Structure 1
Amino acid sequence: MSGQEQEVSSSNIQNDAVSPPSGEDPEEKVPIATIMAIFFMGLSYVPAISCGLVLPVGILAQIGQALDDMENIGWIPGGWSVASAVSFAIAGGLSDIFGRRYVLIGGQIMVLIGAIIGATAHTTLIVACGSTIIGFGAGMIFVSYPGITELLPNKYRGIGIGWTEFCITIPWGGFSVLIANELALNASWRWCYYIAIIYSVIVIVGTAIFYFPPSHPRHDYDKTRWQEFQELDFIGLALFTVGLTVFLVGLTYLGKSSYSVALVAATVTIGALVFIACFVYDFTIPKNPIFPYHLFAMFKEFTVHLIILFIAGMIWQAVTTLAPQATLYMYTNKPVQIGITQIPGNLSGVIGGWILPSLVHKIKHVRQQIIFALVIQTVFTACYAAVIPEHKYAWMIFQMFGQCCFTWVTSLAYVASGLFVPQEELGVSAGLIGTFRSAGGSVGNAIFSTIATSIVNKQLGPRIAAAAIGAGYSPAGLEALIPAVIENAVGVPFAFAKTNASTAVIEATGHAFKETYAYAFRRVFLATIPFGIIGIIAAWFVKDPSHLLNNHIAIHQERDVLSGKRFNPGEMEQIEHRGEDGMEKQA
């Protein structure tokens, strides 16, 4: 093969259609313009996830303290998760109709708007509002998952997905807690959003210049976009959006330290019923459903991945949110040290999200990889309970293994399902995978945060009081002592100044504080075991796509800005039909 790029044109379609003796498509060199498009698509995840979610989550307490509102800080990650879960599925379906370019750029613009709101906010709820807009934009940006994979040879799809995880992790995600705390200490927590603004501008410009995928992925060239828009399943979209939003808002509210049982029960129940009604309606009535029944009927090829990622997302998101708090309450109240402690867990995305997916075409055995990853996640998450609160280094290292598996399973799900799902529905399928992943994170965050919060609320005061009295402290001073113990644990200077507490009392109450949180977090980590087992059982039903990891490229760009080449819809359709024939022969 020469060093020049192989250009796809009508004059070479027939020549390329002749497969080599092995029956595999001839290998093509991916054009530089396509590589640049993939570069900016991957970089889009930095403002949407790394800066818009991961950095703020690492300093939620500092943001709440700076804005004098600790009660509503849970809505910052909660709003992001709810919004991304809703927009992901909707954006995926729309991108199959109108093309991924404008959906992706629209998402990037929404992330920019949300980052500006977050950077200029003066209340916690406004920050949460900006985070929610970023989350909705992130859900739209997630169409780049199918966008990236369909531009690459099948065997290199894992590398494309791995690039997105690399962008998320290095350096912002991997060192998120450390970076966020340094920003909060030496500049301002607002820099999380300032950095998101900078990246957003870069990726908007880069994507607009280089990314020109097929404008009509479903090949219905006889219809205008307006006609396609009129045929959208608006009822299904409305039911899905309302149901999922109400359901997830109810679960997110459950994660607060205080909540109305009636309100949570009503929102969760109503949301679940409306959500189910969406699929009942879509499976039976509309001619052009947003969620085709035949897609869900592909259980081993597609639906099982939804189950797996929902469960794996529950476990991963809960630990991601709670781990910095656990480090603060059990190991150190120094922000920089908290950041250092969380580095192994945060860097795990490099292993699970970048290195292993990039080797998927070499390792193959995708089904076995998914099973193995879920086993490792389940075992190591449970093992956290055995090392807290004393074994700091084990706590750090175990997170690297327990947390890396979610990004690994996620990447494998996109690769595996994308090789079986019809090309014209790749956006819908990827959207649903992202929706269930985000929804699982919201559910897990609500469930496991509630477990920890309820235990601490019931036991922290009594345990501190018992330890103080046991160390000789007068019961009359407990009203002032208990808040002082909590303030001292999180690093407030001179917290015991007005308590007359002796060194023995300070040590005893500090130990009681740490043990209370250790007990709560042990219950959280052990509670993940049943969910992990369910995920492992589901993984046995995954259909292995290893035999399809070949040279086939699903689509080519309509425009190569570096070479000046343009391809009309007819040429694109011939190319894709040729590829589909090759796929059928191999399958």
Structure 2
Amino acid sequence: MSTLGEEKSRTEEVETMERSPEQTSTSDSSKLDHATEPRPHVSFKTKMAILSLIMMYESYLFTLIMPAAVLAYINADLGPDPKYPWITVTWNLGAAIIVTVGGRLADIFGRRWFLLTGAISAALGALVGATGQSINQMIVAGVLFGFGGGFQEMCFACAQELVPNRYRFATLGVMIFANHVSSFGPLIAYAFITYTEIGWRACYWFCFAFECATAVMLWVFYRPPSFETKHEDDHKTKWQLVKELDHLGLWLFTAGCLLLLLGLNWGGVSYPWGSAHVVAPIVIAFACFLALGLWEVYGNLKYPILPPKLFKKWRDFTALLVVCFVAGMLYYSMNVLWPRQSSLLFVPANDTIIRGVYANMVSFGTIIAAWYCVTVMPWVGHERWQLVGFMVAQTALIGSMASIGINDKAQAIATVIIVAACNLPPSPLSFGMVSLGLDDQADIGVAVGLISTFRLIGGAVATSIYVSIYTSRYADRIAPTLQRMVQDTGFTGSFSALLKATATNTAAGYAKVPGINPETIQASQLAVKVAYVGAFKIVYLVAIAFGVCAIASALSSRSVSKSKKSNEQAVRLETEKATEGA
């Protein structure tokens, strides 16, 4: 009997060894409730590596937020130049492309040097911006920021694979919570302008210092599996892997994203929407994406840039792409729309600090969301219903934004803050749901990178659509509104000259109009506000439709199974393995 028992035990051990990791995990989870497992220890070295990734995320946010906040001051100092919006547009262009491409390359070759490249590139961008003497130089700074930002946004995938699966959502919550400093980026930027001699340049020097500190932290503490460790089983060389890369897919993806974003950003700003400069890039971009899809499915690729197996998992991956696309539409567009809306309707023109406070309202909402992400999100589970709740709340609150008038300051402030608070959590929720839904953790870089790319492209699409809507709607409404407002003010001058003065909407501009009087100036300024109220209302009504799509996608996703929130860990730091070996 003893011999039979020993043979049975050995047979079970062999069967366990022969099962795939996924099968072993599933089988073990059926026998063991992970909630009762002893909580694993996270070493000091891992914590310091995650701290370096948090610093990288902070520096990434500063390069996004601060230049956007001082854009008008840069143009006033170095311009005027109609190309000045490209100082920040290039950030979106670069980051949206690089985060997926870089994520895929890092999955194959190792992450350390890609992240260091991101920090160094962003530091160089800050240096170029701090010393820039023309708008063209500032655009170069934006390109370097975008290139570096794409690598830096890989931090969410990098941090998750370093901790046990049960701590992934908690780690994401901590990373979001840590962005309290960068959340005050707009206000810090306006403080630099108000209280420093170098003005807006101080923002770039601040970013330079932060990026340098980040690079040092990464160099010292972040040592993920090296190339040799990743390929210790297949023994492939770097050159072999370079030849096996999806070169055509890389070019098609890069070209498609670049042309789509260029067309959207040119439309209605640099060129009319119907011009060849806008239509041709967008059409070619869609052709590139179509060719890319066919190539990825039928190309029999070793390392596809867009693994088809991911997109087949609708509930675990594709539905979350849609959710994050719409979330990005709201987040990045709010950072453009709200400062414009608040400065037009509620902020005194000569109060720089108050303008900074209003511009910071979106960030105040993210601070509230950060507390949720660290105290509630990781522990309640039911990720699907968390997503649904936030998307429903966002969509409903956008309806509230559509009802804001020129005297609804309190409603506007409260709504913007709550909308921003509801907008942030879907991203870390999606990052965690995607990573834990993968069949192979070797794809975590490209999977999480695609979530980030869709979020960034969603922001670019929304910014183009929304800005086009409110500018065209305002252009249609301002003339009849102005005529109605000034008809009883005793204005005897040229109406066309008065209409032209509304473009600047300043007292100095109105003073140059012949026949003007104080009552007409006051009525004209009110007409501008009324016209913009109607224009922004249409924008928010359009946004509701996108919110409904996101709600439907969130409903079709699914929560992460408790069996996947185990003590398993995807990778270990090289420094930890060296210690264990010793």
TM-score (ref. length: structure 2): 0.88
Is there any run of 5+ residues in structure 2 with no aligned partner, and where? 1-16, 18-24
Match runs of 1:1-12 below 5 Å: none
Distance 1:520 1:219 in 2: 60
Partner of 1:338: 355
Residue 271 (structure 1) aligns with: 285
Q: For residues 360 and 502 of structure 2, what CA distance do their matches in structure 1 show?
A: 28
1:359 maps to 2:368: no
Query: 1:528-543, aligned counterparts within 5 Å?
Result: 528-543=543-558
Give the SS at the match of 1:373.
helix
Superposed, which structure 2 residues align to 1:165-314 within 5 Å? 165-168=176-179, 170-173=180-183, 175-187=184-196, 188-216=199-227, 217=230, 220-254=233-267, 256=269, 258-259=271-272, 261-288=275-302, 289-314=304-329
Matches within 5 A, 1:411-490: 411-421=428-438, 422-476=440-494, 478-489=495-506
Contact kept, 8 Å, 1:464 with 1:509, in 2: the verdict is: yes
**Residues 246/214 of structure 1: CA separation in 2 closer, same or farther (3 Å cut):** same
Q: Partner residue of 1:503?
A: 518
* Residue 31 to residue 255, structure 1, CA distance change in 2 (3 Å): farther
Give the whole-Å Cα distance in 1 for the aligned partners of 2:414 and 2:232: 50
2:22 corresponds in structure 1 to: none
Per mean C-alpha deviation after superposition, the further-off stretch among 277-286 and 232-241 is: 277-286
Q: Report the Cα offset of residue 340 of structure 1.
A: 1.9
Q: 8 Å contact 1:156–1:358 — kept in the other structure?
A: no
Where does structure 1 lack aligned partners over 5 or more consecutive residues? 1-13, 569-587
**CA shift for structure 1 position 405:** 2.3
CA RMSD, aligned part only? 2.5
- Given that 1:365 and 1:544 are in contact with CA atoms closer than 8 Å, whether structure 2 keeps it comes out as yes
Contact 1:41/1:207 (<8 A) preserved: yes
Which range moved further: 249-258 or 234-243? 249-258
Aligned to 1:55: 66
CA distance in 2, matches of 1:564, 1:222: 20
Structure-2 change in CA distance of 1:121 and 1:514 (3 Å): same
**Quick check: 81-90 or 70-79, which moved more?**
70-79
* Cα distance in 1, alignment partners of residues 89 and 381 from structure 2: 36
**Paired residue total:** 545
Correspondence 1:387 to 2:404: yes
* CA shift digits 1:395-448 (9 cap, x unpaired): 111111111222200000001111011211111101111111111111111111
Q: How far is 1:354 from its partner?
A: 4.9
Q: 1:415–1:172: structure 2 CA closer, same or farther, 3 Å change rule?
A: same
Provide the C-alpha distance between the structure 2 equivalents of 1:272 and 1:256, rounded to a whole number of angstroms: 21
CA contact (8 A) 1:308 1:535 kept: yes
1:5 corresponds in structure 2 to: none
CA distance in 2, matches of 1:249, 1:486: 26
Q: Retained in 2: the 8 A contact 1:117–1:130?
A: yes
SS of residue paired to 2:571:
coil
State yes or no: 1:398 paired with 2:407.
no
- Match in the other structure for 2:9: none
1:232: how far off?
0.9
**8 A contact 1:178–1:340 mirrored in 2:** yes
CA distance in 2 between partners of 1:392 and 1:237 (Å) = 47
- What is the letter of the counterpart of residue 413 of structure 1? S
For the Cα contact (< 8 Å) 1:558–1:566, is it kept in 2?
Answer: no
Flag the 1:245–1:152 CA change in 2: closer, same or farther, 3 A: same
User: Which is further off, 204-213 or 112-121?
Assistant: 112-121
Aligned to 1:585: none
Q: Residue 565 of structure 2 corresponds to which residue in structure 1?
A: 549
The yes-or-no answer on 1:64 pairing with 2:80 is no
CA shift at 1:501, angstroms? 2.7
| Counterpart residue type for residue 253 of structure 1 | W
Cα 1:410–1:211 change in 2 (3 A) is same
1:128 aligns with 2:126: no
Q: Is the 8 A contact 2:492 2:516 kept in 1?
A: no
Give the superposition deviation at 1:457: 2.9
CA distance in 1, matches of 2:142, 2:134: 13
Does 2:44 match 1:32?
Answer: yes
Give the 3 Å change call, closer, same or farther, for CA 241–353 of structure 1 in structure 2. farther
Q: Residues 567 and 102 of structure 1: is their aligned pair in 2 closer, same or farther, counting only changes over 3 Å?
A: farther
Q: Percent identity?
A: 28
Give the counterpart letter for 2:158 in structure 1. Answer: G
**Which amino acid in structure 2 is aligned with residue 32 of structure 1?**
F
| CA–CA separation in structure 1 for the residues paired with 2:100 and 2:324 | 15
- Aligned residue among 109, 112, 117 for 1:101: 112
In 1, Cα distance between the equivalents of 2:81 and 2:561? Answer: 49
- How far has the Cα of 1:233 moved from its partner? 0.9
